[in-house]
């Protein structure tokens, strides 16, 4: 098809898809995995920082116990959230790097910044210098903040439309690989290294350095995105790279058609904005109605997903499990590590079986439903036992222990739903919605909002969990807040988010031709009709060209 929706994907029968033989080859998967590993940056950070605060040596280094409860909450929130505030700056500059030096070199730059920041954090932590800890995590954030811009953009631009969701969800899967590695490394170091050793938290932190180095090395073996090369006026090079990725001859109908569609879409965008200068991308984003709706979608996705609370549960999992009745730091770290495995399993399910099979929207609504039910249960349990997390040394009554185990299970369910829904879609939808000319800028905008909201939520949660007398809203209030946001998010998705599964990046415009209030419920059906009309027009044009060529051949003879 020229640009429309293709049949659902069965990952075990990719050969049955409407693609030439050889398209799904090792070169494609190697490129996807190389850039998907960028997702591990966030996962490692979210999983590791809670382990640092469970290390007696780290807390002793910064004299943590000398502060009162409110100051301790502020220090934990500041250290945890400093990567997020740095990531806001990283996401802002990511589009400049992506568009100026390309996706490959942007990856190399962010890996270098990421590693330098972590090195400063490790030195500052060993010396007990809180200022250096903040600075190091902020610098690391400048690199980490670029990963959800560069990674999903590159993957979406090289993946065939029929499996773009699967390929982009590899990035989400890498987030959870990072989380699982971080959680289990924390647990292993806690039980095998002495509490008085810096290595108890330095060894897990070194995962940052390892992954940034691995990704940097892998980038050496990759080619620049064909769509970026077309944008740079290097169509011949783009054809060469696309041919290499797809393992098809450069002059084959498949490669020629794909490059032609990319060039035609770019020419259309450039013609529409001819003569507007360097402000053209910003004007196209905010003044073209269809793009403005896309900005609205990606902005709301970031706001609703981050304030649903699941990201903070990942960040502060040991503390939340302690509130729900898990005693002992070793037990808390083990339960937290299992939590990471549950989220990884959900992310793999989403990538392999759902996102390209049942569609983005259904997968998202399924995840949100699970997350809502889990948040409501935990909030209700904390309302029934309001002393948890509020009264120091409170002992849970025996008759409430069954409900406590249920609440712990529901934290797992919330993580499963989050990985299935919001966390996959916040990257995938952003990467595939926008035209090529503004894709990097728009993704950068979305990820800036992503990290700004993540910073706000992760910075607020330790204080929200405090008792009312200390200025918080208590654990029960915190989870009722998360439940309310999650339910509102589900309703919003139902009415306003269109289905994008199987659609080529160049055909996304046809989803947004309807009035804004009809796009969410009717956009995909309308776009399918336009796809059929477009395909018929292309077929007739091809027949006309063939007829003209045949007549010219007869005349020459």
d(CA 317, CA 43): 13
Query: Any idea which of 108-112, 336-340, 527-531 has the lowest mean pLDDT?
Result: 527-531
- How far apart, in whole angstroms, are the C-alpha atoms of residue 381 and residue 405? 10
Average pLDDT, the chain: 82
Between CA 305 and CA 310 the distance in angstroms is 8
pLDDT tens digits for 111-161?
Answer: 999 999 999 999 998 898 999 999 999 999 999 999 988 998 899 889 887
Stretch among 26-30, 150-154, 377-381, 395-399 having the lowest mean pLDDT: 395-399
Tell the burial category of 515 from Cβ atoms under 10 Å away from its Cβ (0-12, 13-18, 19+): exposed
Q: Average pLDDT of 432-439?
A: 75
Percent of the chain exceeding pLDDT 70 equals 84
Give the residue with greater pLDDT, 458 vs 200.
200
Q: What pLDDT sits at residue 212? A: 96
- CB burial of residue 463 (10 Å; 0-12, 13-18, 19+): middle
Regarding predicted confidence, which is higher, 119 or 284?
119
Region at 364 (left for phi over 0; alpha for psi -120 to 50; beta for the rest): alpha
pLDDT band at 383 (very low <50, low <70, confident <90, very high): very high
- For residue 521, pLDDT over 90 is answered with no
As a whole number of angstroms, the distance between CA 438 and CA 552 comes to 42
């Amino acid at each position: 098809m020229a640009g429309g929706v293709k049949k659902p994907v069965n990952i075990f029968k990719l050969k049955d898809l409407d693609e030439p033989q050889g398209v799904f080859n090792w070169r494609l998967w190697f490129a996807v995995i190389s850039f998907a590993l960028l997702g591990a940056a966030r996962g490692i950070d979210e999983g590791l920082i809670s382990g640092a605060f469970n290390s007696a040596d780290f807390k002793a280094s910064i004299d943590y116990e000398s502060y009162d409860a409110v100051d301790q909450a502020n220090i934990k929130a500041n250290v945890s959230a400093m990567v997020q505030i740095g990531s806001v700056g990283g996401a802002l500059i990511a589009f400049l790097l992506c568009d100026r030096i390309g996706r490959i070199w942007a990856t190399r730059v962010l890996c270098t910044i990421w590693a330098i920041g972590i090195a400063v954090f490790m030195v500052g932590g060993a010396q007990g210098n809180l200022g250096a800890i903040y600075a190091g995590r902020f610098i690391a954030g400048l690199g980490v903040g670029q990963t959800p811009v560069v990674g999903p953009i590159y993957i979406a631009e090289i993946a065939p439309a029929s499996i773009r969701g699967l390929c982009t969800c590899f990035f989400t899967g890498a987030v959870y690989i990072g989380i699982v590695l971080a959680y289990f490394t924390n647990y292993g170091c806690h039980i095998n290294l002495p509490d008085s050793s810096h290595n108890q938290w330095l060894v897990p932190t070194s995962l940052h350095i390892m992954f940034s180095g691995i990704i940097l090395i892998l980038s050496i073996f990759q080619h620049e995105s064909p769509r970026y090369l077309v944008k740079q006026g290097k169509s011949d090079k783009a054809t060469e790279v696309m041919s290499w990725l797809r393992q098809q001859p450069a002059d084959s109908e498949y490669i020629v058609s794909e490059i032609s569609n990319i060039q035609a879409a770019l020419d259309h965008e450039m013609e529409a904005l001819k003569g507007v200068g360097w402000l053209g991308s910003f004007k196209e984003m905010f003044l073209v109605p269809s793009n403005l709706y896309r900005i609205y979608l990606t902005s709301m996705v970031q706001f609703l997903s981050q304030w649903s609370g699941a990201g903070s549960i990942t960040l502060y999992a040991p503390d939340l499990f302690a509130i729900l009745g898990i005693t002992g730091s070793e037990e808390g770290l083990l339960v937290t590590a299992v939590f990471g495995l549950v989220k990884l399993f959900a992310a793999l399910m989403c990538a392999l079986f759902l996102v390209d099979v049942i569609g983005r929207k259904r997968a998202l609504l399924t995840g949100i439903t699970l997350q809502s039910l889990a948040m409501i249960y935990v909030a209700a349990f904390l309302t029934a036992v309001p002393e948890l997390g509020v009264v120091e040394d409170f002992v849970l009554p025996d008759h409430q222990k069954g409900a406590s185990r249920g609440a712990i299970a529901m934290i797992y369910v919330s993580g499963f739903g989050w990985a299935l829904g919001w966390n996959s879609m916040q990257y995938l939808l952003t990467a595939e919605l926008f035209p090529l000319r503004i894709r990097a800028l728009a993704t950068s905008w979305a990820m800036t909002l992503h990290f700004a909201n993540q910073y706000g939520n992760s910075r607020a949660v330790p204080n929200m969990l405090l008792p009312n007398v200390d200025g918080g809203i208590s654990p029960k209030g915190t989870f009722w807040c998360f439940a309310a946001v999650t339910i509102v998010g589900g309703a919003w998705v139902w009415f306003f988010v269109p289905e994008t599964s199987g659609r080529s990046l160049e055909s996304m415009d046809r989803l947004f031709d309807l009035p804004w209030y009809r796009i969410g419920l009717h956009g995909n059906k309308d776009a399918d009709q336009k796809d059929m009309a477009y395909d018929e027009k292309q077929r007739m044009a091809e027949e006309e060209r063939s007829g003209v060529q045949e007549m010219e051949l007869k005349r020459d003879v």
